[in-house]
Structure 1
Amino acid sequence: MQHIQTVLAKSGAYSRRETGRMIEQKRVTVNGVTCTHSTEVLPEDEILIDGKPLPEPAERIYLAFHKPAGITCTAQQKVEGNLVDYLNFNTRIFAVGRLDKASTGLLLLTNDGSIVNPLMKEAADKEKEYLVETKRPVSDEMIAKMRAGGLLIKGKAASPAFAEKTGEYTFRIILKQGLNRQIRRMCSAFGNHVTSLKRVRISHIHLGSLPAGEWRHLNLEEIHLLKVGVNDQN
């Protein structure tokens, strides 16, 4: 048996976040019974959303996108500057993780909802590398604390990270965590302010020379390495 959210996400039509909302709204039934977040299903069970069968699985798409500043990582088209309207892609895709509106750099996009949550868990052990520029000089104390971990980000302790100064006002940092506005909040804790934040790598996938606003398909090796361990988590 599989959890209902896993089955819906594997259909490729919905992200896990969306499936959670649909379950809360009582739009999903299994064999005629409204399901809950704890519902498990068998392959032969009839799953309906709004009384309709699941759509046929779409061809899997995996993209690397160079997000420019000013774009919001959301599929909600009521939000000005949303990702969907900007990309105007020919099929429905969503982001694996996020970059805040002011940040730039590598963003992974897919229509494979089954990989999104597992990849964003710290246990997935996926490194994310950033280049950061600050308003004030980067202090040795701030770098040391980022390396040691323990800074509180909205009540949760930041894990130890690789960090190094690359200039008077710049540093490089590699995270495995994904706390909300983590780098900006860590800098703020030392009275500094991020003026530029760019993600240049997620695990083995590099931004490289991809121009801002452009995307490319991941190659087969990149896709395979991205999914290593995901099936075990599902």
Structure 2
Amino acid sequence: MPPTLRLPPRGPAGSVPSAPARASVSAPAPAPAPAVERVRINKRLAELGLCSRREADEWVARGWVRVNGAVAQTGQQVALADALEVDPQAQRQQDERVTIVLHKPVGYVSGLPEDGHQSAAVLVQPGTRWREDRSPRRFAASHTRGLAPAGRLDIDSTGLLVLTQDGRVAKALIGADSEVEKEYLVRVQWAPNGPQGAGVVAQNVQAFFPEAALARLRHGLQIDGRTLRPAQVQWQNPEQLRFVLQEGMKRQIRRMCEQVGLHVVGLKRVRIGRVLLGQLPLGQWRYLGPNERF
């Protein structure tokens, strides 16, 4: 027998007694679910330190990346909680990319050839490899292809230049959020009226250079309308300053010195992060070691 539908009792005129009045209480609206943050897959792989964005696009195009088990697509948006898998082939390819530490001479440009000057990359040849290079790598012609400078060094400057095929290294050294230190030894003259003006001091410059100007070199200067980050600047000897910067604008040290009456007559980069120029001879190069980190 079907269940009985029970109705409330009716009054004499067939009316339905009204229910006792109840206070009306509005339940709070449920809070909206937080939006899931998504980013392009190449950015996510780069954030994880696996590769550069350009390399990530190459991996995705080759089918070497999976998202939650499915083959990734170029430009795909992923959430932070998504499981990413990278094919071992990608890691093997990454391990084959090289980073070169070069002692650049004056007269070579850091990047592409310009104004009749050769790129420093032409020095990366078997005959110019430092004999004391301890890297187990054997030189291959492929190691000279796609080398890009990870930071500029002016044509009239010398010292440590890093050339790399590895996007991770480039990002660490010249990415927008890089804080890797670069150390320079800078030989100067005191030229408050310009290098061709009267009163140029070439010896014992430290004795003539105002302390207030040294303080400005450390912090307070601007280039192209942008305030420079604080720098470490101190005298190495009476004619030479030591600069430690965390940025690398074009000809930055020379332009900083000009603003306080100094003329640079020699500039040499001796350190990038934890990697030293050391005893590497001028015009020679070595591989970045497997255990070296900037």
Give the letter aligned to residue 45 of structure 1: Q
User: Is 2:123 the counterpart of 1:86?
Assistant: yes
Is residue 152–residue 250 contact of structure 2 (8 Å, CA) maintained in 1? no
> Does the aligned pair in 2 maintain the 1:95–1:107 contact within 8 Å?
yes
On the 8 A contact 2:102/2:286 being kept in 1, the answer is: yes
Tell me the amino acid that sits aligned with residue 161 of structure 1. Answer: A
Question: What's the CA shift for 1:60?
Answer: 1.6
SS of the counterpart of 1:142? helix
* SS of equivalent residue, structure 1 residue 199: strand
Question: 1:10, CA displacement in angstroms?
Answer: 5.0
Q: Name the % identity.
A: 34
Structure 1: distance between partners of 2:246 and 2:183: 9
Q: Is residue 109 of structure 1 aligned with residue 145 of structure 2?
A: no
2:291 match: secondary structure: helix
Name the amino acid aligned to 1:218: L
Unaligned runs of 5+ in 2: 1-39, 47-51, 76-91, 127-140, 191-204
Distance 1:194 1:135 in 2: 7
Look up the match of 1:168.
Answer: 238
Contact 1:10 1:114 in 2 (8 A): no
Query: Secondary structure, in 3 states, of the residue corresponding to 1:123?
Result: coil
Q: Which amino acid aligns with 1:217?
A: Y
**Structure 1-normalised TM-score?**
0.70
Counterpart Cα distance in 2 of 1:110 and 1:152: 30
RMSD: 3.3
Residue number in structure 2 paired with 1:207: 277
* Alpha-carbon distance in structure 2 between the residues aligned to 1:133 and 1:122: 29
Equivalenced residue count is: 192
Gaps of 5+ in 1: 13-29, 31-40, 48-55, 227-234
Deviation of 1:11 after TM superposition, in Å, equals 7.6
Shift of 1:109: 1.5
Deviation at 1:132, TM superposition (A): 0.4
Matching of residue 45 in structure 1 with residue 116 in structure 2: no
Q: Report the alpha carbon displacement of residue 77 of structure 1 after superposing the two structures with TM.
A: 7.7
Residue 79 of structure 1, CA deviation: 5.2
Distance (Å, rounded) in 2 between the aligned partners of 1:46 and 1:120? 25
Distance 2:113 2:73 in 1: 31
**1:220 correspondence with 2:266:** no
Are 1:122 and 1:177, in contact at CA under 8 Å, matched by a contact in 2? no
Deviates more, 1:185-194 or 1:70-79: 70-79
Q: Greater share of strand residues, 1 or 2?
A: 1
Partner in structure 1 of residue 55 of structure 2: 9
Residues 76-85 or 118-127, more deviating? 76-85
Which residue in 2 is equivalent to 1:196? 266
Bigger radius of gyration: 2
Structure 2 counterpart of 1:63, one-letter code: I
User: Aligned-pair distance for 1:167?
Assistant: 2.3
Structure 2 CA distance for partners of 1:105 and 1:11, relative to 1, 3 Å: farther
Instruction: Return the offset for 1:78.
Output: 8.2
